[in-house]
Amino acid sequence: MTAAPASRRSVLKGLVLASSALLFQPRSAWALGGLLPEVDQAAPPFRLPGVAPEPGGIAEVQLGLEDFSGRWLVLYFYPRDFTSGCTLEARGFQNDLSRFGAHNAAVVGVSADDGDSHASFCDSEGLAFPLLSDSGGSVSRAYGSWIPPFSQRHTFLIDPQGTLRAVWTAVRPAGHSQEVLAELQRLQG
C-alpha cells in the first residue's frame, strides 16, 4: 500500500476535521438545513409577505415576529403547498387550531411558495391561519430550515416574549400538531 500524495492527505485531513466539527455540535444546534437557533434564546426576527384567511376571503399580509408579541407562536416550515405530507401537516394544525387558540397560541406556516399558491392552498384545505412566503429562503436560513429551493419540515415554538422554547426537526406530519400542543401545555404548566 502506498501513501497518499501530500495534497490528497491535506484534503482528507480537512474533511475529517470538518466532519468532526459537525459531529460535536450540540444536537439541538445542527440539522439538515443549517444551524438552528438556540432554545431559550431570542427567536430570529422575521417579516414576510403572505396570506391570512379572513371571514370575507383571503387577505394579503406582511407579518413578523413582533406581530405575535404577547402570544405563543407555532412557526412551522414546510416544503410545498399541495404535497401529501404538507397537506397532512396543515390539516393537523387546522384541526387543533381552536385548542392552540385556547392556549393563547397562533399558528403560522412558512414555505417558499408564493402568495397565489398559499391562497389556493388555504382555500382548498379550509385553513384559517396565515401562510407566509419565503421565496428566497432568508427566514428559513435564519431558522436552519433551508435547503434550496425548499424550506425543510421544522417547527419552532416561541413564547410571548419572543424566546424560542422548543424545536422539532425532521418532522413527521401525522400527529405533529398534537406533539406541539402537548409541549405548549407542558411549558405553560
Residues recognised as catalytic = 86
Written as nine digits, the cell of 70 is 404577547
CB of 164 within 8 A of CB of 40? yes
CA distance 53 to 84: 21
Backbone angles phi, psi at 57, to 5 degrees: 145, -150
CA distance 83 to 90: 10
Residue whose C-alpha is closest to residue 148's, from 158, 138, 161, 160: 138
CA distance 89 to 66: 25
Cα 146 to Cα 3, 22, 29, 36, 114: the distances in Å are 40, 17, 14, 10, 16
CA distance 158 to 65: 9
